[in-house]
Structure 1
Amino acid sequence: MPTLSQAQSKPGVVIAIGGALRSDNTEVWQRVVDEAGGTGARIVVFGTAAGNPQRAANLIVEPLTRHGARAEVIPVAPRLAGVDLQSKLNDPALIEQVRTAQGVFFAGGAQELIVDTLQPGGKPTAMLQAIWAVFNRGGLVAGTSAGAAIMSHTMFRDAPDNISVLQGRLREGKELDRGLGFITRQLIVDQHFLKRGRIGRLLPAMQATGYKLGLGIEENSAAVIRGEEIELIGARGGLLLDLTQASSDAALAAFNIRNVRLSYLDHGDRHDLRSGVSKPSTEKLVGQKIDPRAEGFKPRFMVEPFYVDMLADNAIVNAMGRLIDSPHPELRGLAFKGRAGAQDPQPDVGFEFRLYKASDSLAWLGGDDYTVLDLRLDVQPVQIKRPFYTPLAASH
């Protein structure tokens, strides 16, 4: 596989899609085609991660074709019935078909099937080298769900239980693995992020592996990554986690972290990894600016909520929006398992999330889209009592 410097000598474009991409999401599908060269661009589609690879690949070929691409299925998948994987993986004609394409698209499913097929034991196959050849000459590498997870140098292999990861279940080759590394080494990406509360697994993974920057991409949304520049497109956006100034207390016998910088980047927003500057979309910049420190600030949300499940569907980003547009300096919530399992690393340990404002916290509104920049987050372990509550006794 090319070294990082070789891969970035003429970097291509990565489009990491957060999963659940709708067939009518014209913005994302058209951007995939445009980044591959526009009308007539040849894009090869890998259904490698899918349980039904042919169906998954066809569901990608159809919208790509509708938006002007010449999309072609590459039949390299361990679960493709009636096809010998190794013969297809090493077929010179297929390898050349990939090498001469203008774009590559990975379907969703199980990301370990992609890395185990194309990079077994960490060693790149000729097929993977052909994909790198597309990227190295400025081509496109895109993927949805599992196809997005493999873009980082480190990826989640199999870690669906956020609380277990928070409690310490984070093993190399199990929950974590090496990805294919199409994006810069300083950034790790995760998918289905807000819908599935995956900040609960990304924070411990970043702390354990030394990543300072993480990007969690929401469903039906995408991050267009060109070298050090990120643009969010699609239905929603993504959560940017910055651990540059974060710290933890080693004396606590559980995961903990303080001073995480959180920003929610919505549709049309951009972030520059070199400068660390996030820029809201033009629509939001000409819309409403929310500055909690400004004279005459009129907050919309007066009630200070408590979030019983901070890892629930979109809970973290909803909390960010409510906090920035409120008079309160902070809000809190919990993450814990209602029923502990015998295999849980720390069955009675939960986590308090404290979200708070800093001197640089701001937000912008533009139509239905909004951007929240530079809130802070602390996560501390707490003891969970079981039962968590008891019925109120009647008085006689």
Structure 2
Amino acid sequence: MPNLRKMAEHLLYTVLLTTGLCEGLLLHGQGQDKLPQYHTYGRSLVLNGGAAINVSVTREILKLSGGAGLARIGVITASSGTPAESYHYYRDLFLQHGAAKVSWINISESHKELNKDPAMVQLIMNQTGFMFSGGDQARVISSYFLEDRKPSPALLAIRHRFEQGAVVAGTSAGTACQSSRVMVAGGMSWEALRYGAFHIPGHHRDDLVYDPHGGLGFLDGYVLDTHFSERGREGRLLRLLSDTQYEQYGTALGFGVDESTALVITHAGTAAAKAKVLGDRGVVLIDVSRSVVDKTAKYFTIRDVSMSYMTDGDSIKLSDHTLTFSPDKSPLAGQEFYDHALKSTDIFDGNRADRRKKPEFVRVATSVFDAKYDRMSHGTTYEKHPRFLVTVFRSGAGAEAHIRRGHSFQEDVISFKNLMVSIEEN
């Protein structure tokens, strides 16, 4: 009898889901049996910036999925150009680190009919965590929404499990698509500063393009960008926020996540929401809410942009953006090692060819805090006509940095908050 009852409940839920009636039930809190991890972490996300997922991030995903031996991970490959290969990679990764089971949620643009399949909905409902692969975030939107931009039964099921405590993890495109806010779709920093943001492909190959309807909706309040410092995307995220903050799905806030690094969010959507950084590099928070754009300037000109940079072990309260530096870092004020801050003639160069070197924007920004005599510095874009000047100031209220010293500047790990940024034609 208990098995028959369980089968009947699953059948009823599937019918409600596939007919679109369950969304109202979810909103009214029915069917909300929580997974064990919910009582510790609430709704949780692990947002990786791309490239490799290191061991600490992998283990975090498993922990938030219920723990080794219990975690059941659904791998979502809709963004991938090689979905089977992506699935096998994540299957092997999670099984190697103790997942109880890894399943393939094989919904894609080529198999979009599966987003209404009751068997696929049931498979989703059996998972305790989800991993969205990298690729092209637009493919995820196309695969999981219906033609009228209504969420498919499969997406409703993932949202239901998220509400119950199943972690939503992603990397690269699988991170960029998670917000309810405008979703970045492509573009480079110089083109973004030069031409602005477009919600349809622009006239230039590297134009900043975004989806004005947002992403999947698992995180509210922030635009998400990835491969961030390594591809010099500071300019494109800043411009996207500035251009779209007053749109229906716009916001003044954005996280840029570096490669091999993750932003781990627990208790999402509540006053207790908190994010911590795990991994090799860092996560940028850009805030344009108090910025000023000079509409009279010939080219994009903005002042008073606030920026914070968090590295491994740092955390931030999402309710008020109080940043707590990792206890293994020391205050940098009064302990500056260098006389002067660094400058750059290619400020958005990520130095991807040599990961031993810091990306140019990070190099300049962190050097301002490690300089005895300078409180500001600048860099210019490599591209001309126009060449943009990016100036960073540590003179803002509450600006400070903490450091974990290495054997050289390249090995020093510096986090900072409330750096002020301005951009204008050089």
Which category describes the TM-score, using the shorter chain as reference length? 0.7 to 0.9
Secondary structure at the aligned position of 2:57 is classed as: helix
Residue-by-residue CA offset, 1:163-190 (whole Å, 9 max, x unaligned): 1111124112441112111112x22111
Q: CA separation in 1, counterparts of 2:286 and 2:112?
A: 39
Deviation at 1:231, TM superposition (A): 0.7
Moved more, 259-268 or 300-309: 300-309
* Aligned partner letter, 2:425: P
Residue 258 (1) aligns with residue 303 (2): yes
2:374 counterpart of 1:328: yes
Give unpaired runs (5+ residues) of structure 2: 1-19, 33-37, 202-208, 246-250, 351-358, 407-412
Q: 2:292 — aligned with what?
A: 247
C-alpha displacement of 1:268:
0.8
How many residue pairs get aligned? The number is 356
Structure 1 equivalent of residue 257 of structure 2: 217
Greater relative CO, 1 or 2 (CA 8 Å, sep 6+): 1
What is the Cα deviation at residue 272 of structure 1?
0.9
Please state how far the C-alpha of 1:160 moved relative to its aligned partner: 2.9
Give the root-mean-square deviation of aligned CA atoms.
2.2
Instruction: State the alpha-carbon separation in 2 of the partners of residues 153 and 164 from structure 1.
Output: 25
Q: Name the residue aligned to 1:77.
A: 108
Candidates 179, 185, 194, aligned match of 2:229 = 194
**TM-score where L is the length of structure 2:** 0.79
Partner of 1:289: 331
DSSP 3-state at the match of 2:52: coil
1:43 paired residue number: 73
- Determine helix, strand or coil for the equivalent of 1:355: strand
**1:86 deviation in Å?**
3.4
Structure 1 residues 331-370: Cα deviation after superposition (integer angstroms, max 9, x where no partner)? 11112525xxxxxxxxx22311011112422111225533
**Shift >6 Å, 4+ stretches:** 7-10
Instruction: State the distance in 2 between where 1:349 and 1:62 align.
Output: 48
> How far is 1:305 from its partner?
3.1
Distance 2:57 2:347 in 1: 29
Residue 154 of structure 1 aligns to a residue whose secondary structure is coil
Report SS of the residue matched to 1:307.
coil
Alpha-carbon shift at residue 270 of structure 1 (Å): 0.5
Would the aligned equivalents of 1:240 and 1:263 in 2 still touch at CA under 8 Å? yes
Alignment CA distance shift 1:6-1:279 (3 Å)? farther
TM-score (norm 1): 0.84
Match of 2:165 among 114, 119, 138: 138
State whether structure 2 residue 128 is matched by structure 1 residue 111.
Answer: no
Amino acid in structure 1 at the alignment position of 2:342: P
Aligned partners of 1:214 and 1:240 also within 8 Å: yes
Contact 2:183-2:224 at 8 Å conserved across structures:
no
Give the secondary-structure state (helix, strand or coil) at the position aligned to 1:21.
coil
- Helix, strand or coil: the match of 2:293? coil
* Structure 1 residue identity aligned to 2:218: F
2: CA distance between counterparts of 1:33 and 1:306? 42
- Structure 2 vs 1, CA of residues 169 and 260 (structure 1 numbering), >3 Å: closer, same or farther? closer
Identity of aligned residues (%): 25
Q: Aligned with 1:180: secondary structure?
A: coil
Per-residue displacement from partner, 1:125-154 (whole Å, max 9, x unpaired)?
A: 111111111111121111000000011123
Q: Give 2:275's aligned residue.
A: 230
- Equivalent residue for 1:386? none
Q: Would the alpha carbon gap of residues 277 and 157 (structure 1) be closer, same or farther in structure 2, given more than 3 Å must change?
A: closer
**Partner in structure 2 of residue 379 of structure 1:** 423
Does the Cα contact within 8 Å between 1:324 and 1:361 map onto a contact in 2?
Answer: no
Describe the SS at the equivalent of 1:225.
strand
* CA deviation after TM superposition for structure 1 residue 252, in Å: 1.7
Asked whether 1:58 is paired with 2:88, we answer yes
Instruction: For 1:166, give the aligned amino acid.
Output: L
Return the alpha-carbon distance in structure 1 between the equivalents of residues 135 and 153 of structure 2: 23
- Which amino acid in structure 1 is aligned with residue 419 of structure 2? L
CA 1:61–1:7: 2 relative to 1, 3 Å: farther
Partner SS for 1:136? helix
Distance 2:337 2:327 in 1: 23
Unaligned runs of 5+ in 1: 80-84, 292-296, 339-347, 383-396
Alpha-carbon separation, structure 2, partners of 1:237 and 1:119:
32
Given residue 370 of structure 1, which amino acid in structure 2 is its aligned partner? Answer: I
